[in-house]
Amino acid sequence: MEKIIEVLGLSFSYTDEEILKNVSFTVSKGDFLSIIGSNGAGKSTLLKLLLNIIKPQRGAILYFGEDIEKFKGWQKIGYVPQNAILNLDSFPATVLEIATSGLYSQKIGMKERKKIAREYLSKLGVLDLEKSLIGKLSGGQKQRVMLARTLAANPEILILDEPMAGVDQEASQNLYGLLKDLNEKENLTILMVTHDLLRASNFSKRVLCLEEGSLVELDRKQIEHELFHKHKHP
């Protein structure tokens, strides 16, 4: 199966203490992989490395088999940051303006841009809000718009950083279901970073746990054990 991301022996430290220790994993076409971990476990650092914002001390990251430093196909990577919906509160743009801006890299006219954006807004169930100011929407609606914006660019992989931050329980349940559908029905590859083990295990195909800088893949039994332990000692 085509490897979309390969992380090979990645280590990173800001000071003497290593935040990531020899981390390796692969994301293949069609995967729905969740990386879980508590606050300070190194999730944000791992994402910054994956987005080439910071450089590792050791190890390598390959996108489609190409080293991240030489990789030019960032348009194939759909990224929804954690604070995306919080930053939208004061941004004076309509839902449609936000959605069409996601199609920047495509060499098509504005009419076609709007058509594609509307198609994805409709798919995500927010087309009726196209003329609304993004800041007026609820957390769940904003996240749907951000997903529509990202998906409209037709990415090969969706990288989501805490996608349900600021989204209420019911809306996040629906959004997780939607991500699962996109993965299963449209074979969209998803890499999600979250602290929500319960939902990550319910909706994704693989769960990796980042703890004290090391990454381990959890099997069903380990997930159940973790959830039971968490339930008893939340």
Helix runs in 8-109, H state only: 43-50, 84-87, 95-101
Cβ contact 95:147 at 8 Å: no
Strand partners, 216: 209
Q: Which two tokens stand for residue 41?
A: 């476990």
Helix runs in 153-195, H state only: 169-186
Q: Of 153, 158, 191, 218, which one interacts with other proteins (CB under 8 A)? A: 153
Q: Do β-strands 189-194 and 157-161 pair in parallel, antiparallel, or remain unpaired?
A: parallel
φ and ψ of 154, to 5 deg? 60, 55
Q: Judged by CB, which is closer to other proteins: 193, or 207?
A: 193
Q: Of 8, 81, 127, 202, which one interacts with other proteins (CB under 8 A)? A: 81
Question: Which residues ranging from 4 to 23 are in contact with other proteins (CB under 8 A)?
Answer: none
Distance in Å, CB of 4 to other proteins, minimum: 15
Q: Of 35, 84, 148, 200, which one interacts with other proteins (CB under 8 A)? A: 84
For residues 126-155, b (16+ Cβ closer than 10 Å) or e, as one string? bbebbeebbeebebbbbbbbbbbbbbbbbb
Distance in Å, CB of 151 to other proteins, minimum: 14
φ and ψ of 111, to 5 deg? -60, -45
53: contact with other proteins by CB under 8 A: yes
Q: Of 46, 77, 151, 191, which one interacts with other proteins (CB under 8 A)? A: 77
φ and ψ of 67, to 5 deg? -60, 140
Q: Judged by CB, which is closer to other proteins: 94, or 222?
A: 94
Question: Which residues ranging from 85 to 144 are in contact with other proteins (CB under 8 A)?
Answer: 87, 90-94, 97-98, 101-102, 104-105, 131, 133
Distance in Å, CB of 92 to other proteins, minimum: 4
Write each residue from 190 to 219 as x if it is in contact with other proteins (CB under 8 A), else as -, in one continuous string. Answer: ------------------------------
Total residues at the site for other proteins (CB under 8 A)? 23
Q: Which two tokens stand for residue 213?
A: 């800088």
In the complex, the residues that contact other proteins under the rule CB under 8 A are 51, 53, 74-75, 77, 79, 81, 84, 87, 90-94, 97-98, 101-102, 104-105, 131, 133, 153
